[in-house]
Structure 1
Amino acid sequence: MRKTQDNAAWRIFFRVVERGSLTLAADDLHLEPSSVSRQLTALEHRLNTQLLNRSTRKVSLTPAGTRAYEHMRPLLEAMDALLGSLDQSATELSGRLRVSAPVALGEHHVSAWLADFQGQHPQLTLDLVLSDRVLDLMAEGIDVALRIGHLPASSLVARPLGQLSHGVYASPGYLQSHGTPLQPADLPAHRALVYSWMTEHNPTQLTFKHQAEVAKVELDARFFLNNLGAIHRALLAGAGLHAGPDWLLGPSARRGELVRLLPQWQLPTLPVNLVRLHNRFVPQRISALCDWLDHCWQQLPDVH
């Protein structure tokens, strides 16, 4: 009985840390906030240490709580995965999955992919976190993150999905007023919209390839934005040209709302990966989700 109580209390602790609030965690777990508080207090008493600093507005981890979260969460997840693999009667995926994705990709695709996944597995609870920042999976309690760009060396487990292609786009109205660039060298004469969250390279410098020829240009950056959706809308409004992802801008080009410029020249592609924490035993719900996201990614028309 004691072990069962501890397991339940640890799961409550994880949820409070990930939500940053007793009330929000209680809502997720369908418990009263007073019950969450009592179980956390009982766990701290059994451990003879304080795990959380609590106030009326938020909670924060103590040093002991940080160590406990970092070490206990993988252990319990591994136990869940192992028990699930041994339970021959378990046919339904259940539990909670916290997923991270870039904002624009999440809004356009990942949210719909997860809705379909939950439709197939209605016992799952899904939590989608959209951010263009690289989030700490452990600190944020994220099970799976979809990341665009080259991955730094780390202990994370990565599953490659493919490559993200890019092109230079502008609206027909903008090109009518300012002319159409025919070579990369023509681009600096045009107003450029720049994605300021780009971390792969200097966002105002572009490198094009055409067969064996390489052309490097420096854009005349007049408008910096930290959101791809906002860049898309500014492009449609004729604010300038932008070198952006084909998956986002390609559909507008096919509808005639944008024009893809310099089609014979290629920009570098970016790798796309699913990443997760390293666990010896991976819960079935995480493996199934990764398989589903991989499948969905391959259906996009403007990726490799």
Structure 2
Amino acid sequence: MDWDKLRIFHAVADAGSLTHAGDSLHLSQSAVSRQIRALEDSLNTTLFHRHARGLILTEQGELLFEATRAMNKRLETAEARIRDSEEEVFGQLRVTTTTGFGTLWLAPRLTKLYEKYPEMKIDLMLEERVLDLPMREADVAIRMKEPSQADLIRKRLMSIRMRMYASRNYLDDHGTPATMQDIGMHRLISLSPSSPQVSAGKLLVQQLMAQEMPSLLTVNNYFGALQAVINNLGIGVLPDYVVEDFPDLVRVLPDIESAEVPVFLAYPEELRQSKRISAFRDFVQEEVIAHRRRMRETVEGSPGHDEAQVLPE
């Protein structure tokens, strides 16, 4: 099978249009069309249904596209490994993590990584969907649970807990709750029950919602919930790592928190020798160690840091 024709087929299937595929390949629409017809003739099958609104893959086209997509991922992996020199760190690194962790913890710290490796190109993909690392949807992931995909190198970075926080101004105006029942007198800010989240955080929110608050704000990510809290809208359920960068937040009901949530870094086994992966992994580990130290100093310096009550899973 002609590799060049397969490359053109993959571009057309991915774009759903001869014109768009031609633009990406720097070929005319007629040249792309000729190559597709030639490929169909060689396979003695039809790969696309042609409609006025674009192209739709046939069943046979879907089978071929699945194969070319896997081939493309493998070629990207090979290219990445070839481009990783023995002494320099450069090129693109696709990092995926949750919206909250990526926005509130990782992104603010990337300045240090770029200072050390100015030629890196990081594509930071923030979403709750778990991307397929072996299929190279991303190069490295930071997730709030141990990855279940096979052929991954994984490392536990740290643990976090969901806790309740409010701004000093909000507490000055509305008072500080002393018991769980007092939460019912305040507006609760939390992730929406329908949003993807760790079970420990969802359990804590369910416990709080049982207090029948008169007012409630739910958001589909922690960044939005944090903005509401720091703007004096109510008491929010947030991951504990936000405290370091927002010192004006006050922990509410410090004897209540979620169960422990593990944070893992993972990447494909085939990228074990990647210099970019190693640079990013070492950077994250160094930042985690520094974060732990600062959090420990904050806790030890706070008045009365008794053991918290952990809600069961």
TM-score, structure 1 normalization: 0.68
Question: Aligned partners of 1:109, 1:24: CA distance in 2, in Å?
Answer: 38
Matched, 1:154 2:145: no
Query: For residues 282 and 52 of structure 1, do their structure 2 counterparts lie closer, same or farther at Cα, with a shift above 3 Å needed?
Result: farther
Question: Aligned partners of 2:18, 2:268: CA distance in 1, in Å?
Answer: 25
Question: Aligned partners of 1:142, 1:51: CA distance in 2, in Å?
Answer: 28
How far did 1:248 drift? 1.4
Q: Which residue of 2 aligns with 1:105?
A: 101
Question: Aligned partners of 1:235, 1:76: CA distance in 2, in Å?
Answer: 42
Question: Which residue identity lines up with residue 246 of structure 1 in the other structure?
Answer: D
Corresponding pairs, count: 278
Matched, 1:299 2:293: no
Residue correspondence of structure 1 range 55-134 to structure 2 within 5 A: 62-70=62-70, 73-74=73-74, 77=77, 81=81, 90-134=86-130
Contact 2:147-2:264 within 8 A present in 1 as well: no
Between 1:123-132 and 1:197-206, the stretch displaced more is: 197-206
Question: Aligned partners of 1:276, 1:52: CA distance in 2, in Å?
Answer: 35
Q: Which residue of 2 aligns with 1:34?
A: 26
Q: Which residue of 2 aligns with 1:290?
A: 281
Query: For residues 302 and 131 of structure 1, do their structure 2 counterparts lie closer, same or farther at Cα, with a shift above 3 Å needed?
Result: farther
How far did 1:231 drift? 1.2
How far did 1:246 drift? 1.9
SS in 2 for 1:239: coil
Query: For residues 24 and 249 of structure 1, do their structure 2 counterparts lie closer, same or farther at Cα, with a shift above 3 Å needed?
Result: farther
SS in 1 for 2:26: helix
Contact 1:204-1:219 within 8 A present in 2 as well: no
Instruction: Return the match for 2:267 from 264, 276, 298.
Output: 276
Contact 1:170-1:240 within 8 A present in 2 as well: yes
Contact 2:156-2:263 within 8 A present in 1 as well: yes
Matched, 1:226 2:207: no
Question: Aligned partners of 2:113, 2:17: CA distance in 1, in Å?
Answer: 27
SS in 2 for 1:98: strand
Q: Percent identity?
A: 24
Question: Aligned partners of 1:246, 1:93: CA distance in 2, in Å?
Answer: 32
Contact 2:155-2:266 within 8 A present in 1 as well: yes
Matched, 1:165 2:148: no
Contact 1:165-1:302 within 8 A present in 2 as well: no
Greater gyration radius: 2
How far did 1:70 drift? 2.7
Question: Which residue identity lines up with residue 151 of structure 1 in the other structure?
Answer: E
Query: For residues 53 and 245 of structure 1, do their structure 2 counterparts lie closer, same or farther at Cα, with a shift above 3 Å needed?
Result: farther
Query: For residues 156 and 123 of structure 1, do their structure 2 counterparts lie closer, same or farther at Cα, with a shift above 3 Å needed?
Result: same
Contact 1:168-1:242 within 8 A present in 2 as well: yes
SS in 1 for 2:150: coil
Q: Deviations over 1:186-221 (max 9, x none)?
A: 3344321111235322856429xxxxxxxx653546
Contact 2:90-2:119 within 8 A present in 1 as well: yes
Question: Which residue identity lines up with residue 277 of structure 1 in the other structure?
Answer: P
Question: Which residue identity lines up with residue 289 of structure 2 in the other structure?
Answer: Q
Question: Aligned partners of 1:147, 1:163: CA distance in 2, in Å?
Answer: 11
Query: For residues 168 and 51 of structure 1, do their structure 2 counterparts lie closer, same or farther at Cα, with a shift above 3 Å needed?
Result: farther
Q: Which runs of 5+ in 2 are unaligned?
A: 300-313
How far did 1:277 drift? 3.0
Matched, 1:174 2:170: yes
Question: Aligned partners of 2:122, 2:134: CA distance in 1, in Å?
Answer: 17
Contact 2:201-2:258 within 8 A present in 1 as well: no
Instruction: Return the match for 1:246 from 240, 251, 259.
Output: 240
Question: Which residue identity lines up with residue 199 of structure 2 in the other structure?
Answer: H
How far did 1:21 drift? 10
When the two chains are superposed, the root-mean-square deviation of aligned CA atoms in Å is 4.6
Query: For residues 102 and 233 of structure 1, do their structure 2 counterparts lie closer, same or farther at Cα, with a shift above 3 Å needed?
Result: same
SS in 2 for 1:206: helix
Contact 1:22-1:33 within 8 A present in 2 as well: no
How far did 1:264 drift? 3.7
Query: For residues 46 and 25 of structure 1, do their structure 2 counterparts lie closer, same or farther at Cα, with a shift above 3 Å needed?
Result: closer
Contact 2:200-2:261 within 8 A present in 1 as well: no
Query: For residues 219 and 193 of structure 1, do their structure 2 counterparts lie closer, same or farther at Cα, with a shift above 3 Å needed?
Result: farther
Between 1:242-251 and 1:194-203, the stretch displaced more is: 194-203
Question: Which residue identity lines up with residue 154 of structure 1 in the other structure?
Answer: Q
